[in-house]
A and B are shown apart, each in its own frame.
Chain A
Amino acid sequence: MTDKKIGKYTVKIIREKCIGAASCTAIAPGVFELDEEQIARIISQQGNDDETKLLAAQSCPTAAVIVVDNESGDQVWPIISK
């Protein structure tokens, strides 16, 4: 059985890049929280709307939050230079 992705975007966190700045949790508290080590983790992909999720990712000072378009599978943030 395949996972059905809901919404336009799926967000992922690169733990090694996270410095606990907490901008993602401030902007999208329904999606992100800080764990016991003050590193961001995802609590729900549906916690905030897609534009808020993208803004939260863009606000990360270390580009630790990746946004993937569910339909195309392409990474939309950070922008990958071609």
Chain B
Amino acid sequence: MQQLPPPKQYVAKLADTEPLNGKFIKFQFELVEPNLLEFIAGQYVSFLVSDKGERRSYSICSSPEVKHSFEITVDTTPEGLGVNFLKNLQFGQEVQVLGPMGVFIVQEEPREENLVFVATGSGVAPFHSMIPNLLREKEDKREITLYWGLRHEEDMIWQDEFQDLAQAFPNFHFHPVLSQALQEWPLCRGHVNDCLNIHTLPTGNTGYYLCGNAKMIQEIKELLINKGIAETAIHHEKFY
């Protein structure tokens, strides 16, 4: 089992915000004390969001190669405590962060021959850290596939980045799937389950990484197990 860095308390400050579309906002935080954050792609951090001790967790979506800052991307449509806390932050305002945490990382041992990532909605966030890290920094030559399910094309973020990665790295394949696509949408329609059902999945020892709501994860797990995939090959991170 890979050695995970122990979580620590950090003070960070809001350095930048970027609305990616009408649904998602990216927040960048600069580390203050300690001033470096070591994490493994796929891990998350926990923000203190009230003076009652309430916390909210978000996957880090930036590269682990960048240690003086980190980014999170948040679906702002459920206007809960965490979203309102983040949206009300002023530039330079300090926050208390605990991290890194989480075991949703690419397994090193036993090594999987191929990697399939499946996300719905904001569940793509950890994959935005994991996939470029695999392809660029680790020069991973395994077949790596990302299925990402959303409702509408206007909900999509990072599609140019993922498509550029697919162009630059022939071993990476990107399959966005829209459940409420307009007629002119040329790619996969329906839910990610539908796409996985009709696509030929890689043979051999393939690792499946699922991230999204609990219902999706349960459905995809059952689909994969029915297709003969071992349960030990299926890893998940539930967003709620």
Interface residues of A in 7-42 (CB under 8 A from B): 19-23, 26-27, 34
Q: Is the CB of A27 within 8 A of B98?
A: yes
B6 interface residue per 8 A CB criterion: yes
Question: How many residues on the B side are at the interface (Cβ–Cβ under 8 A)?
Answer: 20
**A77: chain B residues within 8 A (beta carbon):** 53
Bound Cα distance from A33 to B102, whole angstroms: 12
Bound Cα distance from A36 to B236, whole angstroms: 14
A55 interface residue per 8 A CB criterion: yes
Q: Is the CB of A62 within 8 A of B101?
A: no
A45 interface residue per 8 A CB criterion: no
Bound Cα distance from A71 to B166, whole angstroms: 59
Bound Cα distance from A79 to B238, whole angstroms: 24
B201 interface residue per 8 A CB criterion: no
Q: Is the CB of A58 within 8 A of B53?
A: yes
Distance (whole angstroms) from the CB of B37 to the closest CB of chain A = 14
Bound Cα distance from A19 to B236, whole angstroms: 10
Supposing A21-B238, A59-B98, A59-B101 touch, asked if A27 and B7 sit within 8 A by C-beta, the answer is yes
Q: Is the CB of B237 within 8 A of A55?
A: no
Supposing A61-B57, A77-B53, A79-B52 touch, asked if A19 and B46 sit within 8 A by C-beta, the answer is no
Interface residues of B in 28-71 (CB under 8 A from A): 44, 46, 52-57
Distance (whole angstroms) from the CB of B122 to the closest CB of chain A = 13
Distance (whole angstroms) from the CB of A22 to the closest CB of chain B = 5
Q: Is the CB of A23 within 8 A of B240?
A: no
**A21: chain B residues within 8 A (beta carbon):** 44, 57, 101-102, 237-238
Instruction: Give the residue name and chain of the B residue nearest to A60 (CB).
Output: B55
Bound Cα distance from A26 to B54, whole angstroms: 18
Bound Cα distance from A44 to B15, whole angstroms: 40
Q: Is the CB of A20 within 8 A of B238?
A: yes
Bound Cα distance from A25 to B240, whole angstroms: 19
**A61: chain B residues within 8 A (beta carbon):** 46, 55-57, 240
Q: Is the CB of B98 within 8 A of A22?
A: no
**B52: chain A residues within 8 A (beta carbon):** 79
Supposing A22-B101, A23-B101 touch, asked if A58 and B7 sit within 8 A by C-beta, the answer is no
User: Which positions in A face B, CB cutoff 8 Å?
Assistant: 19-23, 26-27, 34, 55, 58-59, 61-62, 77, 79
Further 12 A-B residue pairs, CB within 8 A, beyond A19-B240, A23-B101: A20-B236, A20-B238, A21-B44, A22-B101, A22-B102, A23-B57, A23-B98, A27-B101, A58-B55, A61-B57, A77-B53, A79-B53
